[in-house]
Amino acid sequence: MTKLSVNINKVATLRNARGGDVPNVVKVALDCERFGAEGITVHPRPDERHIRKSDVYDLKPLLKTEFNIEGYPAPEFIDLVLKVKPHQVTLVPDSPVQLTSNSGWDTKLNYDFLTEILETCNNAGIRTSVFVSADAEMIEYAAKAGADRVELYTEPYATAYEKNPEAAVAPFIAAANIARSLGLGINAGHDLSLLNLNFFYKNIPWIEEVSIGHALISDALYLGLEKTIQEYKNCLR
């Protein structure tokens, strides 16, 4: 069964908008677990505009499910990851000023850089995932660089889904088959929602994990967090 990892960055954004500690990021993460999420994802950025380093340290000893830290592998990020030792680190090619991830790695161009980072994390016993587009060459170089998994960047799927679901998912099916043939685990994330998640899952049921934040937290404003998590889990059945 595909695991649901809830990205709680938007909860931290709401907290930071007013200062203080409401909503409490750790409590929300633990409630997500209690309501059925199989993982928690955070993306600490250098400016700490949502998740802070202190949140990462606070979460690690309390979470009972999988902890996934994603981010650009700058030295300070890797230092944090090696100290916290999450279950998984997801490497994304974001610059510090980006609002959100909007492309996958060019794993061929960045092969040497990624190889060194992946080796460091793997040697520390941390499962590694590389954020890539649905592109055969990028997936192949991620495997060569030593990644355990790839995370497919699914915004193009989400954008095209309403017009033509079959055409939208086709390149992701092909990419997932290539990744599987190379022995890579497969994650997916970005703009997956209650609208498009089930169709994606039905076409690629061997995906290990989906990481969902913005849409899930937005849905929770209407449905409540517990019901929202159950609705997303229903999409993965």
Q: Which of 70, 140, 151, 209 is catalytic?
A: 70
Helices 111-123 and 75-84 cross at an angle (nearest 10°) of 20
Residue spans of the domains in the chain: they are 3-234
178-191: average pLDDT: 97
Superfamily the domain 3-234 falls into: Aldolase class I (3.20.20.70)
215's enclosing H/E stretch is helix 214-223
Q: Which of 140, 151, 190, 209 is catalytic?
A: 190
| Known active-site residue 190 | yes
Phi, psi of 234 (to 5 degrees): -65, -30
Q: What pLDDT does residue 209 have?
A: 98
pLDDT at 97 over 90: no
Identity of the residue numbered 49: R
Number of H-type helices and E-type strands within the chain:
11, 8
pLDDT digits (tens, 9 = 90+) for 52-94: 999 999 999 999 999 999 999 999 999 999 999 999 999 999 7
The rounded mean pLDDT for the chain is: 96
| CA atoms within a 13 Å half-sphere pointing along the CA-CB vector of 169 | 17
| Known active-site residue 66 | no
The whole-angstrom separation of Cα 91 and Cα 211 is: 13
pLDDT digits (tens, 9 = 90+) for 3-37: 999 999 999 999 999 989 999 999 999 999 999 99
N- to C-terminal Cα separation, the chain: 7
Residue 142 near residue 132 (C-beta atoms within 8 A): yes
